[in-house]
Amino acid sequence: MVVRLVLGLAITLAVLAVAGRRAFQLYRIGRTGQAVEPGRTSGVGKRVLAVTTEVLGQRKLLKWSVPGAAHFAVFWGFTILFATIIEGFGALFDRDFHIPIIGTMTWLGFLEDLFIVAVLVSLAVFSVIRLRQSPEREGRRSRFFGSHLGPAWLVLFMIFNVMWTLLLYRGAQINTGNFPYAHGAFASEAVAKVLAPLGSTANDVLETVGLLLSLGVVLAFLVLVLYSKHLHIFLAPINVAFSRRPRALGALLPVYSGGKEVDFEDPGEDDKIGRGAIEDFTWKGLLDFGTCTECGRCQSQCPAWNTEKPLSPKLLIMSLRDHAAAKAPYLLAGPDTSALPKDVLAEAERSLVGLVSEGGVIDPDVLWSCVTCGACVEQCPVDIEHVDHIVDMRRYQVLIESQFPKEAHTLLRNLERAGDPWGRGAQARLEWMAGLPFEVRVLDEGQQLPADVDYLLWVGCAGSLDENAKKTTRAVAELLNEAGVQFMVLGGAETCTGDAARRLGQELLFQELGKQNVETLNAAGAKRIVVTCAHCFNALGNEYRQLGGDYEVLHHTQLLSQLVAEQKLVPVHPVEAAVTYHDPCYLGRHNRVFSPPREILAGVPGVRLTEMPRSHEKSFCCGAGGARMWMEETIGTRINETRTDEAIATGAELITAACPYCIVMLTDGANVRKQQGKAADELQVIDVSRVLLRSVRDPEAG
Ligand code: SF4
Ligand code: SF4
């Protein structure tokens, strides 16, 4: 008894000292981050709900059925088996110890054993998954590519050790008569049967050895967790609790510095614009980096990574985490850094964004490859906010360093001068309505929307100026007219929403364009707006609130599906075609509009809809988001062609989408494949509204 007490307490105190030191060190690193924006720490109810569903319920992990179920078992295993740790420490003092009240109840003994077995089975599942999906077998396609594989195996081994030592201890305890449970602990009873022939003395020794081993392994595991990616065991609940709610998709945050929004008209001297160094991130950003489990779910979904670009959201987060850890001694040292080791000083010298070959942490090609599709955020089980971090780094590059891909210069110049990406100007914004069989009502300057107008139709830059998108605008206008919906347009008073500028990092330009639009919309008394572009939908509906514009914004597929349901539009003419539907990222993943476009297609007679393997939340980007539409794609394969191939593989004769940018990208992809003889000449890429128009009017229309 004395031996086990002395040894047990000595090991515990030593480990707690090491663990406490490390926890304090991590806390100090976290404190080097900037203050978070307002609202990040309020709303206790929604944050408790998030932790309940995402951590306790493992909501996101369970979307990946097999590994999700295994992780569920391990998470709940460690939670339930905390009871065995209490029992173990109690037994250091008293061999007959049991947890008060519930500590001898059959169900608890059963539950503990059930989870010991479940965890052991899960370890086998994890091992098989890791072997089958190893980077050696799958190369870049493996979600574990770039993860620290050795430590991950070590952690699995440690968990295995926790389980078998526990079974050894419990089995011997049964034989020495010190086990708290008379029945129910089926696995421990099985081990006891194996150990029983060794006799009572041997079981006495095994009980002490098993107990010390079990507690020793648990304590060693605690230290390992604090020094490895398994830190997420402690950080994930905190990270989820303070993540953006309902999610870090949709609207981007304005530029914050020190917890306050930067006023670009009157910036403060100390304002930090974007993130130009690791210490510019908020403590929540640093928490994000430290919480990454290296699971690679984000990487497996990333369109950039899947088309051989250098960007992997996982590797980006890991690089930021490693840099933060390596630079931390410098940040914590205060003004006198002379005593710091050379490697720490060298780390402090690294540019946050710069060629990796020249010491940069994040390569510019990594930063500019992102299409802001949000697939990483959607998948991340610990709610890391990749897109916000990427855009924040872009903001610094654009607004402070003036460093960004040269093709984007043309985009920004056109937006500044003409208010649209093509540089066509306000007068061209009325051309789309030429040839319509009815007159579109255009709001005069200074005019308020008349009371009989149901919706303001926001046409958007592509909808006014791109030839293909103009057909969509005309189709939507015809359908609204057919349904008797009264609508007006702003004509030349519209200017670009600034979506692409914002995602490029040019927040100042976004604000200028946005404020101009908000002023126009508010002056017109706009309340209900319908848009045909997923990016305009997101900007007007989610982001303009930040600029003083609060509107009810409908995507055209939402309004059209409603009109079909109300039988104000009746699709009667069959459109005999195999059809597939591409979910635009900014309509689907960012704004959760999945059903209306599908409802429209389902209502059109003759349409045979086949989903692509990656659809809904898992949709694969067309390659246009994040202002990538306006930049050359010179690395790897083209995202739009990859997505077009997926659409073609469904046997589709019509590829449909609900965003002009997707239509442009997929049309380009289809044209390439037609030239290569890999797609039928008849293959068409059109907006869902045009399919509906063909059915409402006649099959040749639209
Ligand atoms: S937003 Fe999309 S492209 Fe960007 S890192 Fe995430 S998954 Fe990759
Ligand atoms: S960022 Fe999230 S999804 Fe990606 S590897 Fe880390 S924990 Fe997994």
* pLDDT of 65: 86
With a cut of 90, say whether residue 701 has pLDDT above it: no
Report yes or no: 492 and 427 within 8 Å, Cβ to Cβ: yes
- Considering the domain architecture, whether residues 541 and 589 belong to the same structural domain is answered as no
Answer yes or no: is 267 within a domain.
no
- Considering the domain architecture, whether residues 577 and 680 belong to the same structural domain is answered as yes
Confidence bin at 571 (pLDDT 50/70/90): very high
CATH of the domain at 429: 3.40.50.1860
Q: What is the pLDDT of residues 327-337, one digit of tens each?
A: 999 999 988 99
Q: What is the pLDDT of residues 534-551, one digit of tens each?
A: 999 999 999 999 999 999
**pTM for the structure as a whole:** 0.94
With a cut of 90, say whether residue 675 has pLDDT above it: yes
Instruction: Choose which residue among 372, 503, 617 to substitute to test ligand 1 binding: the one with the highest number of ligand atoms within 8 A of its C-beta.
Output: 372
Share of the chain above pLDDT 90, in %: 94
CB of 313 shorter than 6 A to ligand 2: yes
CB of 235 shorter than 6 A to ligand 2: no
Instruction: Choose which residue among 386, 629, 665 to substitute to test ligand 1 binding: the one with the highest number of ligand atoms within 8 A of its C-beta.
Output: 386
* pLDDT of 702: 52
Instruction: Choose which residue among 149, 294, 315 to substitute to test ligand 2 binding: the one with the highest number of ligand atoms within 8 A of its C-beta.
Output: 294
Give the number of domains in the chain: 3
- Considering the domain architecture, whether residues 11 and 142 belong to the same structural domain is answered as yes
Answer yes or no: is 355 within a domain.
no
Least confident of 104-118, 215-229, 277-291: 215-229
- Considering the domain architecture, whether residues 523 and 660 belong to the same structural domain is answered as no
- In the numeric block, which tokens belong to residue 311? 């960007």
CB of 292 shorter than 6 A to ligand 2: yes
Residues in the chain: 702
Residue nearest atom 2 in ligand 2 by C-alpha distance: 380
- Considering the domain architecture, whether residues 530 and 636 belong to the same structural domain is answered as no
With a cut of 80, say whether residue 1 has pLDDT above it: no
Answer yes or no: is 63 within a domain.
yes
CB of 429 shorter than 6 A to ligand 2: no
- Bridge partners, 580 (sequence order): 655
Domain boundary among 511, 543, 564: 564
- Considering the domain architecture, whether residues 557 and 573 belong to the same structural domain is answered as no
* pLDDT of 3: 82
Answer yes or no: is 516 within a domain.
yes
Domain boundary among 564, 593, 626: 564
- Considering the domain architecture, whether residues 39 and 150 belong to the same structural domain is answered as yes
- Considering the domain architecture, whether residues 95 and 128 belong to the same structural domain is answered as yes
Answer yes or no: is 402 within a domain.
no
- 437-450 average pLDDT score: 94
Share of the chain above pLDDT 70, in %: 99
Longest alpha-carbon distance in the chain: 99
CB of 316 shorter than 6 A to ligand 2: no
* pLDDT of 698: 66
Average pLDDT, the chain: 95
- Considering the domain architecture, whether residues 582 and 524 belong to the same structural domain is answered as no
Ligand 1 is surrounded, with C-beta below 6 A, by: 301-304, 311, 313, 370-376, 386-387
Specify the ligand 1 atom closest to the Cα of 371.
Answer: 3
Q: In sequence order, which ranges of 177-231 are alpha helices (DSSP H)?
A: 186-195, 200-226
* pLDDT of 8: 87
Answer yes or no: is 300 within a domain.
no
CA of 295, nearest ligand number: 2
| CA 698 to ligand 2 center in whole angstroms | 49
| CA 307 to ligand 2 center in whole angstroms | 19
Map 27-68 to HEC letters.
HHHHHCCECCCCCCCCCHHHHHHHHHHHHHCCCCHHHCHHHH
- Considering the domain architecture, whether residues 597 and 510 belong to the same structural domain is answered as no
Report yes or no: 589 and 617 within 8 Å, Cβ to Cβ: yes
Confidence bin at 267 (pLDDT 50/70/90): confident
With a cut of 90, say whether residue 445 has pLDDT above it: no
Specify the ligand 1 atom closest to the Cα of 301.
Answer: 7
- Considering the domain architecture, whether residues 468 and 590 belong to the same structural domain is answered as no
Burial of 582 (0-12, 13-18, 19+ CB in 10 A): buried
Rounded CA-CA distance 408/396 in Å is: 15
Domain boundary among 241, 271, 293: 241
- Considering the domain architecture, whether residues 214 and 183 belong to the same structural domain is answered as yes
**Residue spans of beta strands (DSSP E) within 561-700:** 577-581, 607-609, 654-657, 684-687
Instruction: Choose which residue among 140, 367, 373 to substitute to test ligand 1 binding: the one with the highest number of ligand atoms within 8 A of its C-beta.
Output: 373
Answer yes or no: is 314 within a domain.
no
CB of 231 shorter than 6 A to ligand 2: no
Instruction: Choose which residue among 140, 247, 302 to substitute to test ligand 1 binding: the one with the highest number of ligand atoms within 8 A of its C-beta.
Output: 302
* pLDDT of 334: 85
Q: What is the pLDDT of residues 486-533, one digit of tens each?
A: 999 999 999 999 999 999 999 999 999 999 999 999 999 999 999 999
CATH of the domain at 617: 3.40.50
> What is the 8-class DSSP label of residue 542?
I
Rounded CA-CA distance 25/23 in Å is: 5
Q: What is the dihedral of CA 132, 136, 141, 143, to 10 degrees?
A: 60
Specify the ligand 1 atom closest to the Cα of 369.
Answer: 3
| CA 303 to ligand 2 center in whole angstroms | 15
The residue range of the domain holding 65 is 2-241
CB of 71 shorter than 6 A to ligand 2: no
Pairing status of strand 256-257 against strand 260-261 = antiparallel
CA of 384, nearest ligand number: 2
Answer yes or no: is 676 within a domain.
yes
